[in-house]
């Protein structure tokens, strides 16, 4: 009886593992087969020569290059805002907060992670309206606002993973620093954070991925179909997920739909590259931590 | 020989509780340089908690309450470590502790040793490498690791890790050593090596060690304290261990 159950569970584990792999591969094959043919210089730059486009000497019509730049800027802004703040909050929750504050903050973080992204967009939009009516009449939606709102959206991922990575450190390592005469902050900075590095990285990756794909927030905070490359933080912008949505919903020819698939593939590659960069960065930091 | 010399650590009426649950109850003991005091007691009797009370490490746990006094004598001065005698990090550096499970950081062997020296004492350069070498020599680990200082410390064997932890503490120049089962899970030869080392170290440090092995107690102890449910139930000299009656009592008590 026990044995059959054991086998059954083994089977189930294999199946679910295989199932995940299969689903992901199918998705990738589907995307690649539909999107690959559409990837060429024209996809990125439309009819503009690529050198002129890259140097911003001529505007780009019909290419996804501005959307790529837009998404990249969004991810960058959201990360700059959410990763340091999230790590700091995670440290506070795991190492400093008293029981009472811990449960209060836990609730807040849960609330934040349960907030739908469209609500976050709405929040940004209303914030701008409020600013306009009060002390910033010139305020309008744009890149900075969208970056901040997305940062807020992904903040809980970073907080949670940092917190749980720190809390997962076993007692004998947690007490080691203090037992050697390290102060609390020295212990966190020199021992606990390096030990939690991988966990924190996974949170950052999650945040980056989520920031790259979100459409709902930017819809209300400044994305525009043909904005071009944003010249400043206050400008309107384009973004890959929005462009995909737009092409899928309103394509006028099969070519445009193909462009949509190609754009989706580009978005996937972009996030893949960002993950890779995060992993490489973490590796090199870890190597420094381990030896020096 | 040091009977009349003043003890370096005097614990008096030490009471520790976690979340209101008493773990140590009015413990009083003294430690002298030149002697190994061995603490025995069944699992859960509070041995680790007692060691952690002497370097104020229990405070890292929430809901821990400590009462009583731990007087420490350092360079002619003495005072209660629970009453601002010394800054907390310095207390912990002077009263070094090695844990029950070897706590090596997943860094290089070298960094395991240099990190606390650099961070707490700000030592750099040649002084740093001298101290590291001296500490490794002291625990007879230098010859084994001198060519692989950059390797991960986790690649060392259990006994080597335990000695590395000891070296890391010794490099900080403590006066008192708290050793929580320093030879747990080590084989006979490694145990022997560490016991020899402790016998050598006791000349310069006051040592309080937890042991779970009767034969080890007989080999090492200059004094034995029996802890039962948070109280010192008995205090024995090594001669007592030869006395069959007391010996039987000790056996019944803890082993
Ligand atoms: N951080 C803590 N929080 C709550 N209770 C604790 C904590 N540390 C120890 N205790 C309790 O104190 C009692 C004594 O624990 P301690 O670790 O000192 O025992 P020990 O004598 O070292 O046992 P062992 O031989 O198994 O290591 C136990 O009942 C334990 O549950
Ligand atoms: Mg213990």
d(CA B174, CA B42): 28
pLDDT digit string, tens, across residues A143-174: 999 999 999 999 999 999 999 999 999 999 99
Q: Hey, is the C-beta of A4 within 8 angstroms of any chain B C-beta?
A: no
Q: What is residue A223's DSSP assignment?
A: B
Smallest Cβ–Cβ distance between A175 and the set B60, B90, B119 belongs to B60
Question: Span A123-140, mean pLDDT?
Answer: 89
Smallest Cβ–Cβ distance between A290 and the set B62, B88, B108 belongs to B108
Which residues lie across from B16 on neighbouring strands? B24, B66
Res. B251: pLDDT tops 80: no
Residue nearest (by alpha carbon) to ligand 1 atom 5? B18
- Counting residues of chain B whose pLDDT is more than 90, the rounded percentage is 71
Pocket test for ligand 1, best of B16, B38, B46, B231 (most atoms within 8 A of CB): B46
Question: Span A129-139, mean pLDDT?
Answer: 87
d(CA B37, CA B14): 17
Res. A285: pLDDT tops 90: no
Distance from CA of B117 to the nearest CA of A (A): 9
Ligand nearest to the Cα of B16, by number: 1
| List of chain B residues whose C-beta atoms are within 8 Å of the C-beta of residue A99 | 62
Instruction: Say whether A1 sits in a helix, a strand or coil.
Output: coil
Q: Which helix (H) or strand (E) holds B10?
A: strand B9-18
Helices (H) and strands (E) in chain A, counts: 14, 0
d(CA B195, CA B218): 11
| List of chain A residues whose C-beta atoms are within 8 Å of the C-beta of residue B92 | 178-181
pLDDT digit string, tens, across residues B34-93: 999 999 999 999 999 999 999 999 999 988 999 999 999 988 889 999 998 899 999 999
Q: What is the pLDDT of residue B3?
A: 52
A111: confidence class by pLDDT, cuts 50, 70, 90: very high
- Counting residues of chain B whose pLDDT is more than 70, the rounded percentage is 96
d(CA A14, CA A230): 48
> Apex CA A91: angle with CA A85 and CA A92, to 5°?
90
Q: What is the pLDDT of residue B2?
A: 45
Distance from CA of A280 to the nearest CA of B (A): 18
Smallest Cβ–Cβ distance between A176 and the set B55, B103, B150 belongs to B103
Smallest Cβ–Cβ distance between A292 and the set B62, B103, B111 belongs to B111
pLDDT digit string, tens, across residues A249-283: 988 888 888 889 999 999 999 999 988 988 898 88
- Counting residues of chain A whose pLDDT is more than 70, the rounded percentage is 100
Res. B6: pLDDT tops 70: yes
The pLDDT mean for chain B works out to 90
Pair of tokens at residue B32:
């002298």
pLDDT digit string, tens, across residues B120-168: 999 999 999 999 999 999 888 999 999 999 999 999 998 899 999 999 9
Question: Span A47-53, mean pLDDT?
Answer: 80
| List of chain A residues whose C-beta atoms are within 8 Å of the C-beta of residue B90 | 181
Res. A13: pLDDT tops 50: yes
pLDDT digit string, tens, across residues B98-119: 999 889 999 999 999 999 999 9
Ligand nearest to the Cα of B64, by number: 1
Pair of tokens at residue B54:
């002497």
Q: What is the pLDDT of residue A231?
A: 85
Residue B226 near residue B40 (C-beta atoms within 8 A)? yes
| List of chain A residues whose C-beta atoms are within 8 Å of the C-beta of residue B110 | 291
pTM (predicted TM-score): 0.87
Pair of tokens at residue A240:
């890959």
Q: What is the pLDDT of residue A282?
A: 85
d(CA A56, CA A173): 53
Residue B108 near residue A288 (C-beta atoms within 8 A)? no
What is the rounded radius of gyration, in angstroms, for the C-alpha atoms of chain A? 23
Report the CATH superfamily, name and number, of domain A39-290: MetI-like (1.10.3720.10)
Q: What is the pLDDT of residue B46?
A: 94
More confident residue, A25 or B247: A25
Q: Hey, is the C-beta of A183 within 8 angstroms of any chain B C-beta?
A: yes
Res. B1: pLDDT tops 50: no
Q: Hey, is the C-beta of B28 within 8 angstroms of any chain A C-beta?
A: no
Distance from CA of B179 to the nearest CA of A (A): 12
Which candidate in A93, A174, A179 is best for mutational testing of the B interface (most B CBs within 10 A)?
Answer: A179
Q: Hey, is the C-beta of A64 within 8 angstroms of any chain B C-beta?
A: no
Test A180 with B92 for CB contact under 8 angstroms. Answer: yes
Q: How many CA atoms lie within 13 A of B213 on its CB side?
A: 16
> Is the CA virtual torsion B220, B224, B225, B226 positive or negative?
positive
Which candidate in B89, B101, B180 is best for mutational testing of the A interface (most A CBs within 10 A)?
Answer: B89
Q: What is the pLDDT of residue A79?
A: 95
Which candidate in B108, B119, B172 is best for mutational testing of the A interface (most A CBs within 10 A)?
Answer: B119
Residue nearest (by alpha carbon) to ligand 1 atom 22? B48
Instruction: Say whether A37 sits in a helix, a strand or coil.
Output: helix
Q: Hey, is the C-beta of A252 within 8 angstroms of any chain B C-beta?
A: no
Residue nearest (by alpha carbon) to ligand 1 atom 4? B18
Q: Hey, is the C-beta of A11 within 8 angstroms of any chain B C-beta?
A: no
Res. A242: pLDDT tops 90: yes
B58 lines ligand 1 (CB under 6 A): no
Closest CA to B184 of B204, B162, B167: B162
Q: What is the pLDDT of residue A25?
A: 96
Q: What is the pLDDT of residue A161?
A: 95
Pair of tokens at residue B10:
């005097």
Give the residue on A whose Cα is nearest the Cα of B177.
Answer: A179
Residue A185 CA to ligand 2 centre (angstroms)? 27
Q: What is the pLDDT of residue B153?
A: 94
d(CA A69, CA B116): 45
CA distances from B176 to B35, B51, B80 (A): 11, 11, 15
Pair of tokens at residue B115:
């990190």
Res. A114: pLDDT tops 60: yes
B52 lines ligand 1 (CB under 6 A): no
Residue B52 CA to ligand 1 centre (angstroms)? 10
pLDDT digit string, tens, across residues B190-247: 888 889 999 999 999 999 999 988 888 888 999 999 999 999 988 888 777 777 777 7
Residue A269 near residue A209 (C-beta atoms within 8 A)? no
d(CA A221, CA A242): 12
Which residues lie across from B71 on neighbouring strands? B10, B80
Q: What is the pLDDT of residue A289?
A: 80
Q: How far apart are the first and last CA of chain B?
A: 30
**Which A residues in the span 86-115 are in contact with B, Cβ-Cβ below 8 Å?**
99
- Report how far Cα A98 is from the mean position of its chain's Cα atoms: 30
What ipTM goes with this model?
0.90
């Amino acid at each position: 009886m026990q044995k059959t159950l054991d086998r059954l569970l083994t089977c189930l584990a294999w199946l679910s593992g295989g199932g995940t792999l299969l689903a992901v591969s199918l998705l990738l094959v589907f995307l690649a087969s539909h999107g690959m043919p559409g990837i060429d210089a024209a996809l990125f730059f439309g009819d503009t020569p690529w050198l002129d486009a890259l140097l911003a000497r001529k505007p780009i019509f019909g290419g996804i290059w501005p959307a790529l730049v837009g998404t990249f800027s969004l991810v960058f802004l959201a990360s700059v805002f959410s990763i340091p703040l999230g790590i700091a909050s995670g440290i506070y929750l795991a190492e400093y907060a008293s029981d009472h504050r811990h449960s209060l903050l836990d609730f807040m973080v849960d609330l934040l992670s349960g907030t739908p992204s469209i609500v976050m967009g709405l929040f940004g939009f209303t914030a701008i309206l409020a600013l306009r009516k009060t002390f910033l009449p010139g305020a309008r939606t744009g890149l900075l606002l969208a970056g901040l709102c997305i940062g807020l959206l992904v903040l809980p991922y970073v907080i949670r993973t940092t917190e749980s990575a720190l809390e997962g450190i076993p007692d004998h390592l947690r007490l080691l620093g203090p037992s050697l005469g390290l102060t609390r902050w020295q212990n966190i900075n020199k021992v606990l954070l390096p030990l939690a590095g991988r966990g924190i990285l996974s949170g950052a990756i999650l945040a980056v991925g989520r920031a790259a794909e979100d459409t709902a927030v930017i819809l209300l905070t400044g994305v525009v179909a043909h904005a071009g490359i944003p010249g400043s933080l206050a400008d309107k912008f384009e973004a890959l997920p929005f462009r995909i949505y737009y092409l899928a919903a309103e394509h006028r020819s099969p070519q445009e739909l193909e462009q949509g698939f190609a754009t989706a593939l580009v978005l996937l590659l972009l996030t893949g590259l960002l993950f890779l960069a995060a992993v490489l960065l973490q590796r090199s930091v870890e190597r420094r931590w381990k030896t020096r | 020989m040091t009977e009349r010399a003043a003890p370096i650590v005097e614990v008096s009426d030490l009471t520790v509780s976690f979340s209101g649950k008493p773990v140590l109850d009015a413990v009083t003991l003294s430690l002298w340089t030149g002697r190994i005091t061995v603490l025995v007691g069944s699992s859960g009797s509070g041995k680790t908690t007692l060691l952690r009370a002497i370097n104020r490490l229990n405070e890292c746990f929430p809901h821990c309450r400590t009462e009583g006094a731990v007087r420490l004598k350092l360079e002619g001065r003495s005072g209660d470590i629970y009453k601002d005698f010394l800054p907390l990090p310095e207390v912990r550096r002077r009263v070094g502790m090695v844990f029950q499970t070897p706590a090596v950081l997943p860094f290089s062997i070298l960094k395991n040793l240099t990190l606390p020296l650099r961070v707490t004492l700000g030592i750099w350069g040649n002084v740093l490498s001298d101290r590291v070498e001296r500490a490794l020599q002291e625990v007879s680990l230098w010859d084994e690791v001198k060519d692989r200082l950059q390797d991960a410390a986790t690649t060392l064997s259990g006994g080597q890790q335990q000695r590395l932890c000891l070296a890391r503490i010794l490099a900080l120049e403590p006066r008192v050593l708290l050793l929580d089962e320093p030879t747990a899970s080590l084989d006979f030869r490694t145990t022997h090596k560490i016991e020899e080392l402790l016998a050598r170290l006791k000349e310069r440090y006051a040592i309080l060690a937890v042991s779970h092995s009767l034969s080890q107690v007989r080999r090492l102890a200059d004094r034995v304290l029996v802890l039962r449910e948070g109280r010192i139930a008995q205090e024995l000299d090594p001669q007592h261990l030869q006395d069959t009656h007391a010996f039987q009592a000790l056996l019944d008590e803890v082993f």
